[in-house]
Chains A and B, each alone.
Chain A
C-alpha cells in the first residue's frame, strides 16, 4: 500500500513540468495517476478510455492537486467496484474540486504564507543572519508537506466529499498567519526606512519613499518585472547624480 502511495506522491511533485497553454497540467495529472491506472486496467480499451479522460484539461494549484488526485483515485476505485460512480461524475467532481480548492490554495500559499516567510527571511538576511532562510523553509514546508502528503492520503481514504473539511483542517491558521504577514510587512518597511535614515539621512529616506510611490504608480500600468527594473535603474541614476 505504501509503495503505491509513494509512487503517486513523487509524481505529484513533478506535476507542472509539462505545463502547456491548452490542457495546462493534463499530461502531468495523467503521469501522477498512471500507477493506479496500470494497476487495475486489464483491458486495453478501458485503459485508453481512462487515459483519455485524465489527460484532458486540468488546472489546479499544485499543492491542492494532491487532494484532488487522492479523491479521483478513490472514485475510480469505487467505479471499478460498481458502487454507483460513473466516468461523468468523476470528471464533474474533478473540475469542481479544482475550481473551488485552487482559489483557496492560491490565496493561502501565495498571498499569506509565501510573503510571510520571505519577509521574515529578508529581515534576518538584511542583518546577515543565516537563520532567515532556515525559518522560511521550515515555516513554508510545514504547511506545504502537510497539505501535499496529508491531502493526498485524505483524498484516497475518504473520497471527494471532504473538500471543505480538508480546507478547514489545512488552512485553519489562515486568518492568524495573514495578520502576521501584514504585521511583518510593516516591520520590514519600518526597518527599511530606519536603515536608510541612519545611512543617508532624510535625503535617502525621502528618495526611498519616492521610489515606493513611483513603484506603486508604475505597477498599476505595467508588469512587476518592468516596474522593478525601472525603479531600480532610476534609483541607481539618482545615486550617481547626487
Chain B
C-alpha cells in the first residue's frame, strides 16, 4: 500500500500548523510530541499508534530545558514525522509483531534527524531574519506602519511553510525507505528490536534525574521512585 497524497497532505498541514504554534510561541503546547503524535494518529486513523510513538519520542526529551546558548531541537516536526513514519510504514507492510520494533527504530531515528535539521536551520534563520527586521524598521520610519506589521506576520507564514514542506517532502520518502529496510531485516534481529520501547524511556529517566538532582528536588524524586518501586515489589 502506497502512502496516499491526501494522507501526506493532511499530515503536512498539521505539521505546518503545529510548527507555527511552536515557533510563534503560542504555547498551548499542542505541538509537544505526545499531543502531536496523538493528532497525527487521529488523522491517519490510528490514534493508539500515534499516542504510542508520540510518547516514545517525547520521553527522550522529558527533562529538556532550553537554554539560550544551546540549539533547541525541533521536537514538533520530529514528533509528527516519527508518528507518520511509524503509522504509514506499519500500514504499508502489514507490520507483524516482529517488524514493529525495526519500524519503531527507523521512525524514531528519522524523527530525531529531522529535529536536528530543524535545530540547525533555525539557528541559521535567526541570524538572517535581521534583514526582515531592517526592512520593517525602514518602513515604520517612513510612516508605513502597516507594512512593518505585515512583515512580522509574513515571517509567521515561513514557520508554517517550513513545517508543511519538510513533512510533504520527507514523509513519503522516509516511509518508502523504512518499508525497504524493514522488508530486508531478518526475523531474529527484527524481533530483538521490539525491546526498544522499553529502553527508550530510560533516556527520559536520565534527563529527569539530571534536572531534579541539580535542582535540589532529589528527596521528592527519590520518594516517588521508592514508593512506586516498593508498590510493585509488594504486589508481585
Contacts and interface: CB of A to CB of B under 8 A. Distances in A.
A122 B23 contact: no
Interface in A163-206: 178-196, 199-200, 204
Given A19-B126, A136-B29, A196-B202, A182 B212 contact: yes
A16 B24 contact: yes
Interface stretch (A70-78, A86-94, A110-118): A110-118
Contact residues of B: prevailing secondary structure: helix
A189 B205 contact: yes
B152 A31 contact: yes
A197 B203 CA distance: 16
Interface in B121-153: 126-127, 129-130, 132-133, 136-137, 140-141, 143, 145, 148-149, 151-153
Contacts of A190: 224-229, 232
A47 B198 CA distance: 60
B30 A137 contact: yes
A239 B62 CA distance: 23
Interface in B31-48: 32, 34-35, 38, 47-48
B52 interface: yes
Nearest to A130: B51
B34 A239 contact: no
A185 B25 contact: no
A51 B25 contact: no
Given A121-B34, A185-B221, A185-B224, A16 B23 contact: yes
B133 A26 contact: yes
A199 B198 contact: yes
Interface stretch (B4-12, B84-92, B111-119, B176-184): B111-119
A64 to B, nearest CB: 11
Interface of A: 13-23, 26-28, 30-31, 34, 37-38, 44, 47-48, 51-52, 55, 62-63, 110-111, 114-115, 117-119, 121-122, 125-126, 128, 130, 132-133, 136-137, 140-141, 144, 148, 178-196, 199-200, 204, 207-209, 211-213, 215-216, 219, 223-226, 228-229, 231-233, 235-236, 239-240, 242
